[in-house]
Amino acid sequence: MTVPTKTDLAFRDRAAAEALLDVAYDLTDSPIGPLLVATTERGLCEIAFDPDPEEEVERLARQHGIRVLRSARPVDEARRELDEYFEGHRHEFDLPVDLSALPAFQQSVLAALQRVPYGQVDTYGGLAARIGKPKAARAVGGALNRNPVPIVVPCHRIVGSTGSLVGYAGGLERKQLLLSLEGGTLV
Amino acid sequence: MNAVAIPPFERFYEEYREEIYAYLRKLAGRDEADDAFQETFLRALRGYQSLQHGRHLRAWAYRIATRVAIDERRKRRPTAELPELPADDGRPAYAELDHLTGDLPATERAAVVLRYGYDLDYADIATALGSSEDAARQAASSGVRRLRRRMT
């Protein structure tokens, strides 16, 4: 017997409101395709392109705890800020990001990345230098490739030393779209 | 022995929500089913991290739902436990049984209350208990025998 939508949504709301979840997630549309957005109590923990929800739910459970539930309200803020970003009205995200499940090196790379401003780009080597490890460009590339919160932590702003796009976990087309949205210039 | 992993809560919820909802409609009635449903899965969430393995999750969900339905009825119609008053003959069957069966072993008690208090058939009781239909029938009848012995 199908559960009435109202009852289902009320349960999902209450589960989040009573702080019973390790992770809440929801799906949202964007100009670069459907996104899965997930948050813990501490902040945004995942944005996935073209998500396979079942796979993402398993991954979220492994990384943050098994109490994973689709629930719209906890990700409302992220959804709103993303919408504003895609409309060109927002250049910086205010919502907190939860990177605590990541290795320390990756955390430091992503923290430095958050300081690359809207509309500008830097290189892998440049970012390596920002964290005081100028020779670690390759390792920086690996850390960016596994960035769990693209767009908000702007790994699309990192390009090759010649200015070529090089790579993007979400596909080069998306990287190009994000950079042209921002009207990017090389630092 | 292979440990059975506990699935992410979303998967557990998706898998059992429909049958638990149907079960609660039967047990708690149309008006109360929605609240009982939410309460059942909120309780499941509260206990989810304490699960040791992923076996018997279905029976676990039914046990919680059964408990919730019984609790909610008790809340709605407090059975005014005033010892000086004579037993209230107007009490519904499930309330009477709930009271009488307090000392039975848990499985027998659940089987008796569900069969004679809520009028569930043995197939539903078996699901609620996570057992076979035969075992459910047996639990109810040995519960009844035990009650009978006590009364004589």
Query: How close does chain A come to B147, measured CA to CA in Å?
Result: 36
Question: Which of B13, B18, B34 is opposite residue A2, by nearest beta carbon?
Answer: B18
Of the two residues B112 and A118, the one the predictor is more confident about is A118
Task: Band the pLDDT of A2: cuts 50, 70, 90.
Answer: very high
Question: What per-residue confidence (pLDDT) applies to A49?
Answer: 95
Q: Torsion angle of alpha carbons A73, A78, A81, A84, nearest 10°?
A: -80
User: Considering CB atoms only, which of B17, B37, B48 is closest to A67?
Assistant: B48
* Tokens describing residue B74: 């008790």
Interface residues of chain B, partner chain A, Cβ below 8 Å: 6-11, 13, 17-19, 21-22, 25, 34, 37-38, 41-42, 45-46, 48-49
Distance CA B62, CA B110 (A): 11
Counting every residue written for chain B, the total comes to: 152
- Whether residues A1 and B21 touch (CB distance < 8 A) is answered with yes
Between CA B140 and CA B147, with CA B141 as vertex, the angle to 5 degrees is: 90
What are the backbone angles phi and psi of residue A181, rounded to the nearest 5°?
Answer: -60, -40
Q: What would the pLDDT profile of B56-101 be if each residue is shown by its tens digit?
A: 899 899 999 988 988 887 776 655 444 333 344 555 566 667 667 7
Nearest residue on chain B to A11, alpha-carbon basis: B38
Q: What is the ipTM of this complex?
A: 0.90
Q: Which residues of A have a CB under 8 Å from any CB of B?
A: 1-4, 6-8, 10-11, 14-15, 18, 20-21, 54, 57-58, 60-61, 65-70
Distance (Å) from the C-alpha of residue B23 to the closest C-alpha of chain A?
9
- At A83-94, the pLDDT tens digits run 999 999 999 999
% of chain B surpassing 90 pLDDT: 38
Could you tell me if B41 and B81 are in contact, meaning their C-beta atoms sit under 8 angstroms apart?
Answer: no
Model pLDDT for residues A172-185, shown as the tens digit of each residue: 899 999 999 998 65
Q: How far apart are CA B129 and CA B66, in angstroms?
A: 9
Active site residues of A: 155
pTM: 0.79
Q: Are A11 and A63 in contact (CB under 8 A)?
A: no
Helix or strand (DSSP H, E) at A135? none
Query: What does the DSSP assignment read for B57-71?
Result: HHHHHHHHHHHHHHH
The model's confidence at residue B149, banded by pLDDT at 50, 70 and 90, is: confident
Q: How do A23-28 and A35-39 pair as beta strands?
A: antiparallel
Check if the beta carbon of residue A39 is closer than 8 Å to that of residue A26.
no
B34 closest CB neighbour out of A4, A20, A61 = A4
